[in-house]
A and B are shown apart, each in its own frame.
Chain A
Amino acid sequence: MSALRPGGDDFGARLSFDRGGPGRRAVDVPAWNGEATPLPDARLLRDSLRLPELSQGELVRYYTALSARNYGIDSGTYPLGSCTMKYNPKVDDLVASLPGFAGAHPQTPAEDAQGTLRTLLELRRGLAEATGLPAVSLAPAAGAQGELAGVLMITRALEDRGELETRRRILVPDSAHGTNPATAAMAGFTVTQIPTAADGSLDRATIEQELDESVAAVMVTAPNTLGLWEQGIEEVAGLIHEAGAYLYGDGANLNAIMGRVRYGDLGFDVVHLNLHKSFSTPHGGGGPGAGPVCCSKELAPYLPTPVVDECEDGVVQLTAPERSIGQLQQFHGNVGVLIRAYAYMRALGLEGLRAVSGQAELNANYLRALLHGYYDLPYDRPVLHEVVFSGSRQRKEHGVRTYDIAKRLIDHGFHPPTVYFPLIVDEALMMEPTETEPPEAIEALAEAMIAIAEEAERDPDTLHAAPLTAPIGRLDEANAARRPVLRWQEPEAED
């Protein structure tokens, strides 16, 4: 195995289970020298366990080689739209792992966990300030769980109003994240899809037409997934409230408006945030994140349990709101992530958060300006935090798909953008540079995209074959789904 070709040939064919050998071990376990208690009856015990047997060095080399086959925000520019892949401050990891925080058992009595609880209380207050929504629960582990909490809160409020039987529909724009309709369905509602207007905004006429006594809520992503502001959303909020429904906000794109405008002021009733996006906690290859849910005073009694509160004597405690939808997890949420988000908020302050949204916007618009004319812009107007291009011209004229463009970007050293989302844009390339990329990085990304556009005319076959320099080439995803192999098997058990 060469350090320069991590893992060597067909590294993926040999799992940890196929390496090392019987009798090797990576750690040892202290012996029990006391009096031995007989083990329970054998029928309650396992008689075999197949796990890898590796020495410590072998195990470390294996996972180090695996890490070298990954690309993170620390590796380079990662313009994955809607995911806000910005630099993750290292001090946040450091403070979250302080023994006082890390060692706290989840059932520790409140008086013995005041350091953690006060930190969570201040985060809660900061998020309430930043969103203009006074009540917050930090419990949801990720955005989708925050969404579920928010929609269940609406369910409970309708129940108390005696309207749950009649208000069975939730309106969701067709540009929404897939989690929105999935959540609405999980909470037992019927989803009505609202088409996007020609300018990329909410189709107000359709919403007005659909709003009636059967509507429980409208779920809106603001700014939307095209990187555009929903103009007049405050008026739409008024219409929704007049119709007796609630306005749910998907706050995945909060990064664009931090310090500039607040969900509460606009009339949103309940919003979830993604702290792993806007508050820069590491994405971890797909979590852990945190998805706090923030709401109006009216919905506060329904927040998920626990909520962090300060008692009159100054002691901070976890409490259950009066008409809480209940717990979302056995304990209190992804506390380690919340501490990181708090550290981020304190490092930035209000001016810093305004600088974040300002620079995020400028970077997205700079990228838009640099690529203007090279790729189609179905919604050709200034954007907020992200810009959605279309590869439809490259497809029509050269038979090159967005998929090919994304893969070729890997050869230029970049992580590809989000592709084929939002669904309403043909051959979508959704790019979010974030505020932490320096201008030179955005220029280099634009140069690579331009080189690819030119290559599409000149040499489309290279694009079809890309990436050529990645640790592995394009994979057969169809076969993976048709003939699923989902776990290690003894070599002889494979066909």
Chain B
Amino acid sequence: MASPAPGGAPHPYIPATEADRARMLERVGVADLDALFADLPAAMRDPAIDLPPALTEPELIALLEERAGENADASQPNFLGAGAYRRSIPAVAAHLTSRSEFVTAYTPYQPEISQGTLQSAFEYQSVVCELTGMNVSNTGLYDVASATAEACLLATRATRRGAVALLEPIHPGTIEVVRTYTRGAGLRVDILTSADAVSEEHACLVVQQPDFLGAIVDLEPLAEAAHESGVLLVTVADPFALGLLRSPGDAGADIVTGEGRDLAGAPAFGGPSLGLFAARSPFMRQMPGRIVGRTKELHEPPEGGEPRTGYVLTLQAREQFIRRERATSNVSTAQSLIALAFTITVQALGPQGLREAAELCYQRAHDAAARITGLPGYEVPVRGPWFQEFLVRGPLPAAELADRLRELGIGPGLDVSSRAEAEARDALLFAVTEATPDAHVDALVDALAEIGADA
């Protein structure tokens, strides 16, 4: 516990000492701090609040180190994917993103002293447009699922239709969030198992790429089917996979969302996350969230020369602080710093590096799957080309297989055995990426073999 010196500052974060306060109170013309709260209802003032006592910095670090140690060791083998993937993050991304000029700024309302945030956001928009094949990106939303829900809202505004369709297999969290977000507008959410069921009642068809069970989706026929009924194609794409896969825009998508967290840094139990949101030009003025635009100075610089190039928040007539109840979304603060980390990772990899990393991921995952297929009693049900996730059906029911793996020190893939798809029956969904250590794959294969031999 802390012990502030008598008359000293009350806390390292609060500089004014007793002498400072006395001087300030005199200038303000009140007797004590309590007098500043005179408008608050007297009967309810200073209630009993049960909070633990203050900790000094060393005590705080010790407590949280102990807590962090109560989580399972993240360096042990773990094959969970299902929306969050282990990636190799270049050291420069964490280093540059931790610069306090970026970290401790807020929304760039004053462009003259916010060019760092603004120009970085323009870089982000550019990267997202290149990856997705879209023309307009915002500066990022909360996460992939809320971004996809916003895409559904945009599609219903643009088409004036009252239903949206989501194509399985899609992340169950995405379905949940779309339901939450569309409840207010009273929209119908249809979960389809085939794109043939899309109709003129639907504003959009939402398709995940790769899909929830890992398969690479041929988007073009889906785009054609959707467009025939005047339905917009929303693609929920893994931006890392887009280093290898055809851009959704090229295949006919109208809106692309995605999750950027994996390329920004650690999974951190799911967040902070980053929702990518990009669309074709006609939807520019319907977009949710902040957008940064390029412009010039109004005047020549004081030292002479031509007006210089700068960046500003733009198309703000869409936004809540101007349009209020007629805004395209209520989004204000989003995930700016995570977007910066995402941008730096993608740019550090560059066009070659991103392709190589995505191919390495593909090769490692396929190699692991082939080794598991070769084990007696195991199969890897496949529905066509896939990227980094695969289903494993073993000699035991899925839940038991998962338990046995845990006993052997392996974090198993997600249990998807209760899903409707035939290939998911009795299966676990494993992810192997470019960042999964060889030793972890070896340990998994050994453990599966051991379990198979016992069964």
The answer to whether B78 and A289 have CB atoms under 8 Å apart is no
The answer to whether A336 and B271 have CB atoms under 8 Å apart is yes
Residues on the B chain within 8 Å of A30, using CB: 360, 434
The answer to whether A487 and B136 have CB atoms under 8 Å apart is yes
The answer to whether B71 and A182 have CB atoms under 8 Å apart is no
Among B190-198, B361-369, B372-380, the stretch in contact with A: B361-369
Interchain CB contact (< 8 A) of A91 among B57, B100, B183: B57
Query: In A13-61, which residues have CB < 8 Å from any B CB?
Result: 13, 15-17, 24-32, 34-37, 39-41, 43-46, 49-54, 56, 59-60
Closest Cβ of chain B to A326, distance in Å, is 4
Query: In A72-108, which residues have CB < 8 Å from any B CB?
Result: 72-75, 78, 80, 83, 85-89, 91, 93-108
Closest Cβ of chain B to A259, distance in Å, is 6
In the assembled complex, A485 has its CB within 8 A of some CB on chain B = yes
Interchain CB contact (< 8 A) of B119 among A15, A32, A406: A15
User: Which residue of the partner chain B has the closest CB to A416?
Assistant: B110
The answer to whether B21 and A410 have CB atoms under 8 Å apart is no
The answer to whether B347 and A25 have CB atoms under 8 Å apart is no
- Which of A37, A183, A339, A467 counts the most chain B CB atoms within 10 A? A37
The answer to whether B434 and A142 have CB atoms under 8 Å apart is no
Residues on the A chain within 8 Å of B297, using CB: 472-476
Residues on the B chain within 8 Å of A485, using CB: 293-295
Query: In A110-145, which residues have CB < 8 Å from any B CB?
Result: 112-116, 118-119, 122, 126, 129-130, 132, 141-145
In the assembled complex, B410 has its CB within 8 A of some CB on chain A = no
Interface size class of A (residues with CB under 8 A): 35 or more
The answer to whether B47 and A265 have CB atoms under 8 Å apart is yes
Q: How far is the CA of A258 from the CA of B37 in the complex (A)?
A: 11
Residues on the B chain within 8 Å of A41, using CB: 385
The answer to whether A185 and B146 have CB atoms under 8 Å apart is no
In the assembled complex, B233 has its CB within 8 A of some CB on chain A = no
Render B306-339 as a binary contact track against A, CB cut-off 8 A, 1 for contact: 1111111011110111111111011111111110
Q: How far is the CA of A44 from the CA of B11 in the complex (A)?
A: 59
Q: How far is the CA of A106 from the CA of B337 in the complex (A)?
A: 20
Q: How far is the CA of A380 from the CA of B234 in the complex (A)?
A: 52
Residues on the A chain within 8 Å of B123, using CB: 15-17, 488
Closest Cβ of chain A to B82, distance in Å, is 6
Say yes or no: A477-B352 contact (C-beta < 8 A), given A67-B96, A335-B268: no
Residues on the B chain within 8 Å of A178, using CB: 319-324, 327, 332
Residues on the B chain within 8 Å of A363, using CB: 16, 24
- Which of B47, B137, B265 counts the most chain A CB atoms within 10 A? B47
Residues on the B chain within 8 Å of A78, using CB: 106
Query: In B250-269, which residues have CB < 8 Å from any A CB?
Result: 250, 259, 265-269
Q: How far is the CA of A80 from the CA of B145 in the complex (A)?
A: 31
The answer to whether B143 and A467 have CB atoms under 8 Å apart is no
Interchain CB contact (< 8 A) of B349 among A29, A191, A280, A368: A29
Residues on the B chain within 8 Å of A382, using CB: 28, 30, 36, 38-39
In the assembled complex, B173 has its CB within 8 A of some CB on chain A = yes
In the assembled complex, A10 has its CB within 8 A of some CB on chain B = yes
The answer to whether B330 and A148 have CB atoms under 8 Å apart is yes
Closest Cβ of chain B to A97, distance in Å, is 8
Residues on the A chain within 8 Å of B242, using CB: 46
The answer to whether A488 and B271 have CB atoms under 8 Å apart is no
Q: How far is the CA of A485 from the CA of B293 in the complex (A)?
A: 5
The answer to whether B296 and A331 have CB atoms under 8 Å apart is no
In the assembled complex, B31 has its CB within 8 A of some CB on chain A = no
Interchain CB contact (< 8 A) of B177 among A130, A259, A327, A362: A327
The answer to whether A229 and B112 have CB atoms under 8 Å apart is no
The answer to whether A186 and B67 have CB atoms under 8 Å apart is no
The answer to whether B269 and A108 have CB atoms under 8 Å apart is yes
The answer to whether B268 and A27 have CB atoms under 8 Å apart is no
In the assembled complex, B108 has its CB within 8 A of some CB on chain A = yes
Closest Cβ of chain A to B24, distance in Å, is 5
Residues on the A chain within 8 Å of B292, using CB: 486
Residues on the B chain within 8 Å of A10, using CB: 306, 308-309
Q: How far is the CA of A101 from the CA of B293 in the complex (A)?
A: 36
Closest Cβ of chain B to A20, distance in Å, is 9
User: Which residue of the partner chain A has the closest CB to B84?
Assistant: A106
Among B125-133, B161-169, B419-427, B447-455, the stretch in contact with A: B125-133
Say yes or no: A333-B270 contact (C-beta < 8 A), given A54-B350, A415-B113, A472-B111: yes
Interchain CB contact (< 8 A) of B102 among A67, A105, A329: A67
Interchain CB contact (< 8 A) of A37 among B11, B49, B335, B366: B366
Render B99-116 as a binary contact track against A, CB cut-off 8 A, 1 for contact: 111111111111111111
In the assembled complex, A261 has its CB within 8 A of some CB on chain B = yes
Residues on the B chain within 8 Å of A143, using CB: 332-333
Residues on the B chain within 8 Å of A66, using CB: 115-116, 119-120
The answer to whether A328 and B146 have CB atoms under 8 Å apart is yes
Say yes or no: A285-B117 contact (C-beta < 8 A), given A182-B320, A333-B271, A369-B27: yes
The answer to whether B246 and A39 have CB atoms under 8 Å apart is no
Among A202-210, A240-248, A347-355, A447-455, the stretch in contact with B: A347-355
Among A293-301, A388-396, A431-439, the stretch in contact with B: A431-439
In the assembled complex, B244 has its CB within 8 A of some CB on chain A = yes
Residues on the B chain within 8 Å of A336, using CB: 268, 271-272
Closest Cβ of chain B to A166, distance in Å, is 15
Closest Cβ of chain B to A164, distance in Å, is 10
Closest Cβ of chain B to A149, distance in Å, is 8
Render A175-189 as a binary contact track against B, CB cut-off 8 A, 1 for contact: 001110111111111
The answer to whether A101 and B71 have CB atoms under 8 Å apart is yes
User: Which residue of the partner chain A has the closest CB to B105?
Assistant: A72
The answer to whether A487 and B71 have CB atoms under 8 Å apart is no
Query: In B25-80, which residues have CB < 8 Å from any A CB?
Result: 25, 27-30, 33, 36-41, 44-47, 49-55, 57, 60-61, 63-75, 78, 80
Render B342-356 as a binary contact track against A, CB cut-off 8 A, 1 for contact: 001011111111111
Say yes or no: A108-B72 contact (C-beta < 8 A), given A13-B309, A49-B351: yes
Interchain CB contact (< 8 A) of B310 among A368, A369, A465, A475: A475
Interchain CB contact (< 8 A) of B101 among A28, A70, A365, A439: A70
7 contacting pairs across A/B (C-beta < 8 A): A70-B114, A103-B71, A126-B51, A130-B51, A178-B324, A179-B321, A336-B272
Task: Please give 17 more A-B residue pairs, beta carbons under 8 A apart, in addition to A100-B73, A285-B107, A286-B139.
Answer: A29-B88, A73-B105, A101-B67, A105-B411, A152-B184, A178-B322, A182-B330, A229-B39, A285-B120, A287-B334, A343-B60, A347-B11, A356-B13, A358-B36, A410-B110, A476-B296, A476-B298
9 shortest interchain CB distances as A-B pairs: A103-B74, A331-B270, A100-B68, A70-B116, A349-B54, A106-B270, A284-B337, A72-B104, A115-B70
